[in-house]
């Protein structure tokens, strides 16, 4: 479901006012590709975010929590073939944080890092899942 521009602006204003000096960041786009030894998912953001990530077992999942963040994107339709990811879902956590969960088909090692804007892209969050 798409959120209208006005609703998105109101949500950003509300989320931005909930943290001291923090603006709400929106996940505005994403892309994924497979390298020989890992899968990379890049989240394009409207602003820098505070985040934490961790792996879970039984079943295997990779979780990333982003403070004062939101998205109206759907991860449905993303080609997950030839990757350790079987599904991606997201939801609001603690009222103003975004949680993204990657359901995994196998054990992976993970690396997560942010990238500052450059001439082509704005703020980004990179999620690397390395084959074991």
65: closest CA among 97, 40, 19? Answer: 97
**Residue at token pair 């899942």:** 129
**pTM: predicted TM-score of the whole model, two decimal places:** 0.81
Could you give phi then psi for residue 7, rounded to 5 degrees? -60, -40
**Residue at token pair 């082509």:** 120
90 touches 101 (CB < 8 A): yes
First to last CA, the chain: 36
The pLDDT of residue 18 is 45
Low-confidence ranges of the chain (pLDDT < 50): 1-2, 13, 15-21
The pLDDT of residue 23 is 73
- 116 alpha-carbon distance from chain centroid: 16
């Amino acid at each position: 479901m798409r959120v209208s521009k006005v609703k998105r602006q109101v949500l950003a204003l509300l989320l931005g006012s909930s943290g001291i000096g923090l603006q709400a960041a929106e996940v505005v786009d994403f892309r994924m590709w497979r390298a020989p030894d890992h899968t990379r998912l890049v989240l394009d953001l409207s602003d820098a975010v505070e985040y934490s990530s961790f792996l879970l077992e039984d079943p295997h999942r990779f979780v990333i929590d982003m403070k004062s963040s939101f998205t109206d994107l759907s991860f449905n339709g993303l080609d997950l073939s030839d990757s350790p990811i079987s599904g991606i879902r997201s939801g609001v956590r603690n009222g103003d944080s975004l949680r993204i969960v990657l359901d995994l088909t196998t054990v992976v090692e993970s690396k997560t890092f942010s990238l500052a804007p450059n001439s082509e892209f704005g703020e980004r969050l990179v999620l690397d899942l390395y084959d074991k």
